[in-house]
Amino acid sequence: MIIAQEVSKKYGGHEILHQLSFTIQKGEVVALLGPNGAGKSTLLKILSSYLSPTSGSVSIDGLDLYEYSLELRARLGYLPENVPLYPEMKVGEYLSYRAALKKVRSRRISEKVIDVLDLCGLRSVENKLIETLSKGYRQRVGLADALVNEPDLLILDEPTIGLDPLQQAHIHGLIANLAKRHTLFISTHSLQEAEMLCKRHLILHNGRIAASGTLEELRQQLMLPEASLEEMFLLLTRKDEN
């Protein structure tokens, strides 16, 4: 379980996130939605312990994320929007290197790399240089990296951005499979993707939580019983434009 309590983040005098509080239960698949600049990537970096909040707290399974950051990182898998791969390395070599960095026991590294190669459909490119791969395959390598330490929680930042429809379909299939046995928090600009993959939606606007809930709960909160996710998203994120 993730519990965020009044999480805020400032850069200089600019507040990116303002007192965000929410809970993600074990086994949930939650979409993080919001327009550009809403603070989605900043929030995911905080939840992955790559960035500290200015104020507030985050706990995972009762442990403070920053006090126990090394222990909890071993239970997290994080796919950033721009996957920092090493193009000069081969796929299998890279995943072995990443597994070692993530403190996977040396005798298990080979086994875990084979597992994620199979899971992510990468066996055919195991010995290819990353720089020779298509964007879709590089995204799969990033996902395999996120999985190689057997995390309980997966945090995915725009996992299908820049992919063509066929590549998106492959990643959607992987995520749907992962959702059967992981907790997932997925940032996406695609409302269709969010509705297809996620049971609950957390909508950010101007660094604040505009709404949170299942599709039906959002309809009840906004008193719009027939509204689509897109209609509610636009209502929540455009209401103060003028």
- Residues 43-58: pLDDT tens digits? 999 999 889 999 999 9
| pLDDT of res. 241 | 55
Residue 121 sits in the same domain as residue 236: no
Residue 8 sits in the same domain as residue 75: yes
Residue 32 sits in the same domain as residue 138: yes
φ, ψ dihedrals at 19, nearest 5°: 45, 60
DSSP helix/strand/coil, 231: helix
Asked if the structure places residue 142 within a domain, the reply is yes
Domain total in the chain: 2
pLDDT at 197 over 80: yes
Q: What are the tens digits of pLDDT across the range 137-158?
A: 999 999 999 999 999 899 999 9
Sign of CA pseudo-dihedral 214, 53, 157, 33 = positive
Q: How confident is the model at residue 81 (pLDDT cuts 50, 70, 90)?
A: confident
Residue 159 sits in the same domain as residue 237: no
Range of 224's domain? 215-241
Q: Model pTM? A: 0.91
Beta-strand relationship, 55-60 and 63-64: antiparallel
Asked if the structure places residue 44 within a domain, the reply is yes
Q: Which of 231, 172, 168, 207 is nearest to 29 (CA)?
A: 172
Q: What is the CATH classification number for the domain harbouring 106? A: 3.40.50.300
pLDDT at 128 over 90: yes
The residue whose two tokens read 């299908």 is 160
| pLDDT of res. 239 | 64
Residue 219 sits in the same domain as residue 101: no
Contacts of 62 (CB under 8 A, 6+ apart): 1
DSSP string, 173-195: HHHHHHTTTSEEEEE-S-HHHHH
| pLDDT of res. 40 | 95
H helix runs in 198-240, sequence order: 215-222, 229-238
Upper half-sphere CA count for residue 31 (Cβ side, 13 Å)? 24
